[in-house]
Amino acid sequence: MGLFNFLTQEIAIDLGTANTLIIWNDKVVVDEPSIVAKDIQSGKVVAIGRKAQQMHGKTHKLIETVRPLKDGVIADFQSAEQMIKGMIKMINPGRGLFNPTLRMVICIPSGITEVEKRAVQDSAEHAGAKEVYLIHEPMAAAIGIGIDVEEPMGNMIIDIGGGTSEIAVIALGGIVCDKSIRIAGDDFTNDIEEYMRRQHNILVGERTAEQIKIEVGAALPELENPPAEFAVRGRDLMTGIPKEIMVSYQEVAHALDKTISKIEEAILSALEMTPPELSADIYKTGIYLAGGGSMLRGLDKRIQAKTKLPVHIAEDPLRAVARGTSIALKNIDKYPFLMGR
């Protein structure tokens, strides 16, 4: 068995629209943006992850950057495969002669179709996995936060990622009711781009909008300890000349308001579907937030005001799903909800 373990490499992958994390031996070994840069003529991959991210929006006509995942699912099959392969190579670059067998647990959105599920499995197999298990994101987030998912107690998890927001009520090791909407962090970024164009007549790229979201993003126009104003540089639409303006968190809160309202509606609709006994549990345990989107300033307060329920943010929201996936990998026999072959 010892030799078999030595020959088997077990990795947990959180394949996200915005970022992909790989956990191996209980450590996050890869944490890179989900993006690939390709040479247009030969189709060869030039860069993956952070290096490709730096090229995003700055490429010439011989190089293109591709985000293989859209709305939490694989949109570009070939690029996704190349990205997974490249990221697995980052774990131990020196593995040349000796190729261990790969066993993977990958997390997927709960609203995914059979065809989309198949695409994830095939990509992983083409990247060299012998065994592929799938786990739903809200379930992985719950395990990662430290909730005992096996007990007969209802817990509500909201995982706001880059492409999807997953809302699920979990009890007895299964998802009782879930709502998966394709509105999440990427929509926040688009809202900011749109707002800058409409309000300030300034064109900013996706990377700059993402930066604004991180620096001064907010879900409420009044915060207790507000971030300082942020200097934004872009192209003036009237003159075509680069210029700089200052943006406050109040403006960003205003820009994101409609999109956040849609997430709130989805939360209320998930609460409506919840069986009464579990509703009683959720009243006591509250709502857990995970995923990068939950780091938006004031979002927990806003959801709390809307649902009148206590809202807790996971301690490391960006990595909660990856951690849960890794725990599930170690307990493959214990968790019957892992979808294998």
Q: Note the pLDDT tens digit of each residue in 142-159.
A: 999 999 999 999 999 999
Instruction: Indicate if 242 and 277 belong to the same structural domain.
Output: no
Residue 333 binned pLDDT confidence (cut-offs 50, 70, 90): confident
Tokens linked to 130: 């012998």
pLDDT of 98 reads: 52
Tokens linked to 225: 């300890």
Is residue 303 within a helix (H) or strand (E), and if so which, with residue range? helix 299-307
Mean of the per-residue pLDDT values for the chain?
A: 91
Please give the average per-residue pLDDT across 265-281, as a whole number: 96
Instruction: Indicate if 193 and 313 belong to the same structural domain.
Output: no
Q: Is residue 104 part of a domain?
A: no
Given a cut of 80, whether residue 92 has pLDDT beyond it is: no
Name every residue whose Cβ is closer than 8 Å to that of residue 79 and which is 6 or more positions away in sequence: 36, 38, 66, 68
pLDDT digits (tens, 9 = 90+) for 283-325: 999 999 999 999 999 999 999 999 999 999 999 999 999 999 9
Instruction: Indicate if 313 and 190 belong to the same structural domain.
Output: no
pLDDT of 6 reads: 58
Q: Which of 207, 223, 255 is the C-terminal boundary of a domain?
A: 255
Q: What are phi and psi of 224, to 5 degrees?
A: -70, -50
pLDDT digits (tens, 9 = 90+) for 189-207: 999 999 999 999 999 999 9
Whole domain around residue 302: which residue ranges?
148-183+260-319
- How many domains would you assign to the chain? 2
Instruction: Indicate if 158 and 282 belong to the same structural domain.
Output: yes
| DSSP-assigned states of every residue in 64-76 | EEE--EETTEES-
Q: Is residue 76 part of a domain?
A: no
Query: What is d(CA 267, CA 261) in angstroms, rounded to the nearest whole number?
Result: 10
Q: Is residue 38 part of a domain?
A: no
Instruction: Indicate if 315 and 205 belong to the same structural domain.
Output: no
Please give the average per-residue pLDDT across 96-101, as a whole number: 61
pLDDT of 91 reads: 82
Instruction: Indicate if 250 and 300 belong to the same structural domain.
Output: no
CATH, residue 269: 3.30.420.40
Q: Is residue 121 part of a domain?
A: no
CATH, residue 196: 3.90.640.10
Q: Is residue 334 part of a domain?
A: no
Q: Is residue 83 part of a domain?
A: no
Q: Which of 255, 272, 300 is the C-terminal boundary of a domain?
A: 255
Given a cut of 50, whether residue 97 has pLDDT beyond it is: no
Instruction: Indicate if 190 and 177 belong to the same structural domain.
Output: no
221-239 per-residue burial string, b: 16 or more CB within 10 A, e: under 16: eeeeebeeebebebeeeee
Q: Is residue 111 part of a domain?
A: no
Instruction: Indicate if 178 and 266 belong to the same structural domain.
Output: yes
The bridge status of strand 36-39 relative to strand 230-236 is unpaired
Q: Is residue 153 part of a domain?
A: yes
Q: Which of 255, 273, 300 is the C-terminal boundary of a domain?
A: 255
Instruction: Indicate if 189 and 244 belong to the same structural domain.
Output: yes
Instruction: Indicate if 173 and 232 belong to the same structural domain.
Output: no
Say if pTM beats, i.e. exceeds, 0.75. Answer: yes
Instruction: Indicate if 190 and 306 belong to the same structural domain.
Output: no
Instruction: Indicate if 249 and 311 belong to the same structural domain.
Output: no
117-131, 211-225, 241-255: range with lowest mean pLDDT: 117-131
